[in-house]
Amino acid sequence: MSLTLQNVSRVVDGDTWISDVSLTLEPGSFNVLLGRTLSGKTTLMRLMAGLDRPSKGKILMNGVDVTGVPVRERNISMVYQQFINYPNLTVYENIASPLRLAKLDKAILDRRVRETAEMLGIESMLERLPLELSGGQQQRTAMARALVKDAQIVLFDEPLVNLDYKLREGLREELRSLFKARNCIAVYATTEPNEALALGGNTAVLHEGRLLQMGPTAQVYHKPRDIITAEMFSEPPINVVPGEVTENEVTFDQDVHFQLNNDLKMLEPGHYQFGVRASHIGLVPHSDDDLELPVKVDLAELSGSETFLHVRNPHFELVLHLSGVHEYEVDQEIKIYFPTHKLYAFDTQGALVHSPARLVEA
């Protein structure tokens, strides 16, 4: 069962929530919708599910136009970020509820419920009520209810956002394993670039209701089509510095100069916007192509075992994503090392014209 959106738009009270989106999702695929809050992820999923109808365009399932077909007539399941379970029903009955509505044979129903519960590690909790469960167990119950009906399309609207890091990491890994064995289409919405990378599959980047780029996740990450895609597929957002290319060198704001390396020699002379991921800038040199930059510290932002180091020089600001805890004083002078061989180059309109040959994942 394939799912195709053809030039789909959704306009509500004069505001465009989805603008001319076209994409095709293949059977057995795991697809991530990546975008900031209000980028259109939930609206797009509601259109896929049949909860909303597009203002323009068509939605096809296996080549059949289902644009006007309501959700109850589509074989689709949806998991939300809130733990939506029936509080007065046991875990068993929560999972069994869609099968009872389908009037499935009792023996088949029981087998499907127990198999799905075992798959999600909650088989020992089938007689409990949802309020007797932890947050992670409640979300597993909601996921089991969505998966038990063997839907052709399963939609996950930021299902792990309310869970702690450890639970999210474990459930994310389980999700990938679950869908390897299924031939349905999985669609997973997230605001987090690192979650999209961890899930793999395909990623569609959404911004203000527009589809910027879609493809295999690693390809979209390594070759973002434009600056906005690069910014949204980086945590923190990719650093962007304006610069000029001459016949022999690159100049940032007429002050910072470095020789054109082999990667950048293909660029025509002119003005560009250069991007470098925060995780690729370091405190020590790692390559002969690293450019030493004296900077002052604006902020050392600690996040668990990582540090987001905000620095500046007289011409531009940068953010470094460092492993470990690094403490600095405001205005402290330090040196950082800028990897010129890992630079992206975008034209003045923001379109990608060069991606680095030696890519290292964040």
What residue spans define the domains of the chain?
3-226, 239-354
pLDDT for position 303: 84
164-221 pLDDT tens trace: 777 777 777 777 777 766 778 999 999 999 999 989 899 999 999 999 999 999 999 9
Give all strands of the β-sheet with 239-245 in edge-to-edge order: 256-259, 249-252, 239-245, 270-276, 344-346, 352-354
- Enumerate the H helices of 120-204 as residue ranges: 135-148, 165-180, 193-199
Long-range contacts of 112-120, Cβ-Cβ distance < 8 Å, separation of 24 or more: 112/148, 112/150, 113/148, 116/144, 116/147, 116/148, 117/91, 117/92, 117/144, 119/144, 119/147, 119/178, 120/144, 120/147, 120/174
Enumerate residue ranges in the chain where pLDDT < 50. 360-362
Nearest-angstrom CA–CA distance, 140 and 74: 23
The CATH architecture that domain 239-354 belongs to is Beta Barrel (2.40)
pTM: 0.88
pLDDT for position 261: 81
Strand-strand pairing, 185-190 and 30-34? parallel
pLDDT for position 360: 43
pLDDT for position 166: 72
Structural contact between residues 174 and 207, judged by C-beta atoms closer than 8 angstroms: no
Q: Is 297 left (phi over 0), alpha (psi -120 to 50) or beta?
A: beta
Q: How many CB atoms lie within 10 A of CB 2?
A: 15
pLDDT for position 362: 39
Class of domain 3-226: alpha beta
Closest by CA to 206, choosing from 28, 37, 345, is 37
